[in-house]
Each structure stands twice: as C-alpha cells, then as structure tokens.
Amino acid sequence: MEYSHRYHAYPTQAVAERLEYHIDVHRQAYNYTRYEYQNVDADNIGSAYKHHYRLPGWKDKFPVFSEVNSKALQRTVTRFYQNLTNLKKKKQNGHKVGKLKWKSPTEYQSLTVLLNPLTASG
C-alpha cells in the first residue's frame, strides 16, 4: 500500500525563495505538458509514461528544467494526466466539464517530491 503524507513547511526566507522558484518551474512544466498535449500528435504522447520520454528534450530546449529534480518533473507530468483522467471520469458520470486550463503562479502552489526511504535521513 502506498501512503501519501502532507506536511506544512516553515522554511527560512532563503529556503522559501528557492522553494517558490522550484514550484514556479514545475508550474511551467505543467503548462508546457498541457501545450504539448494539445498541439502534438496524440499518437506520440498519449500517456504520462510516453510523455516522460520527452523530458530530456525539454531540458535541452529549456535549461530551466535541468535545475529541478527529474523524478519530481516526471511527477508533474503525471499530475497533468491524473487531472485529465479525473475530468474524463466526471464527464462519464454526467458532470459538465471543460478543459484543463493554463495555470498562473497563484493557481499552482504545490509539488510532489518522492523520497526514497532507504536514502532519506530524518
């Protein structure tokens, strides 16, 4: 069973600025995932797993994506596809849904970082 824990963080000012920067980079990655999903042939990227193969090209094209953890970047792409799946489920249940929208800095305020319990110190 997989557990998900959420914790409030109380960082110093310097750490908070760095975290805000990382969250902004992940917001840009989320928005770029949305852009590619809408504007690239669906056969090339039809799932999060296939989309992960595009990330090295992103890092060449946009060096800012090289500054963040690659696993966290993959998780951001997966987050987009999970949101897409949730919209499809709601539509199947009879709800009126729209499309996933571009995220502004005020709308994207969290990220997921996966820690390996064997290497994480606590």
pLDDT at 23: 93
State the helix-helix crossing angle for 13-39 and 70-92, rounded to 10 degrees.
50
Residue ranges per structural domain of the chain: 13-92
71-111: pLDDT as tens digits = 999 999 999 999 999 999 999 999 999 888 999 999 988 88
Among the ranges given (23-27, 36-40, 63-67), the one the predictor scored with the smallest mean pLDDT:
36-40
pLDDT of 83 reads 92
C-alpha closest to that of 24 among 121, 117, 108, 119: 108
Counting residues of the chain whose pLDDT is more than 70, the rounded percentage is 89
The vertex-72 CA angle with 71 and 77, nearest 5°, equals 95
Instruction: Indicate the pTM of the whole model.
Output: 0.83
